[in-house]
């Protein structure tokens, strides 16, 4: 029996509809996959942004604390609990009394409420590059301006009795997720901030350092 023209046209229409449906399904799938991929990318970008901001704020907080508490760093005096910022001994004197060309100390910033410090702090003397040697700090902390270590008395101090001493503080943010108290440097991030500080000292104690 020979199919009628009506039956043939009906089958062609069914085939065309099926093809259109498949194409629409493919298009919807592609759009859906693209949306999912875009969503994942946006989540990844948002995560990186949060981490970058957290690391910057951690480094900034550590730097501000170190600048505000620099006198304690300078003398390595103990807190009310008897704790010092870095080791103190006959061979490891306070920053104030260390050899100027290699003077450098490093330590973790004070612990936060979660028991983790926000930054790794490194301090070294600032002096003319020709007179400067490696202080045993990380590369970023060794890169400080070249200038005289001893300057005029800071504002508010008697110029006949005092001189200024210049130091650089470098704060590197610590990743709290990977921090290990036995190896704090392993948790350091790539966010590094630096600031210069000026310490007033009696002229009689630093006059031998003039010109460095």
Span 154-187, pLDDT tens digits = 999 999 999 999 999 999 999 999 999 899 889 9
DSSP 157: S
pLDDT for res 130: 87
pLDDT for res 13: 63
CA distances, 132 to each of 21, 34, 163 (Å): 76, 56, 20
Of the candidates 151, 142, 133, which has an alpha carbon nearest to the alpha carbon of residue 209?
151
> Rounded to two decimals, what is the model's pTM?
0.79
Residue 14 pLDDT exceeds 90: no
Share of the chain above pLDDT 90, in %: 51
pLDDT for res 3: 53
CB 135 within 8 A of CB 167: no
Residue 109 pLDDT exceeds 80: yes
Q: Which among 25-34, 43-52, 167-176 has the top mean pLDDT?
A: 167-176
């Amino acid at each position: 029996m020979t199919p009628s023209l009506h039956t043939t046209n009906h089958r062609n229409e069914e085939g065309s509809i099926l093809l259109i449906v498949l194409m629409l399904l493919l298009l919807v799938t592609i759009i859906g996959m693209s949306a999912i991929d875009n969503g994942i990318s946006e989540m990844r970008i948002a995560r990186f942004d949060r981490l970058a901001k957290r690391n910057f704020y951690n480094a900034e907080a550590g730097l501000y604390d170190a600048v505000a508490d620099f006198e304690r760093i300078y003398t390595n005096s103990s807190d009310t609990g008897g704790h010092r910022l870095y080791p103190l001994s006959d061979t490891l004197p306070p920053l104030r009394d260390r050899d100027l060309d290699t003077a450098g100390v490093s330590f973790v910033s004070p612990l936060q409420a979660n028991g983790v410090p926000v930054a790794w702090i490194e301090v070294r003397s600032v002096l003319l590059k020709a007179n400067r040697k490696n202080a045993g700090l990380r590369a970023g902390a060794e890169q400080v301006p070249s200038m005289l270590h001893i300057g005029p008395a800071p504002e508010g101090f008697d110029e006949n009795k005092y001189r200024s001493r210049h130091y650089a503080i470098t704060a590197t943010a610590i990743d709290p997720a990977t921090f290990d108290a036995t190896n704090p440097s392993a948790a350091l991030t790539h966010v590094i901030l630096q600031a210069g500080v000026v310490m007033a000292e009696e002229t009689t104690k630093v006059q031998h350092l003039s010109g460095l």
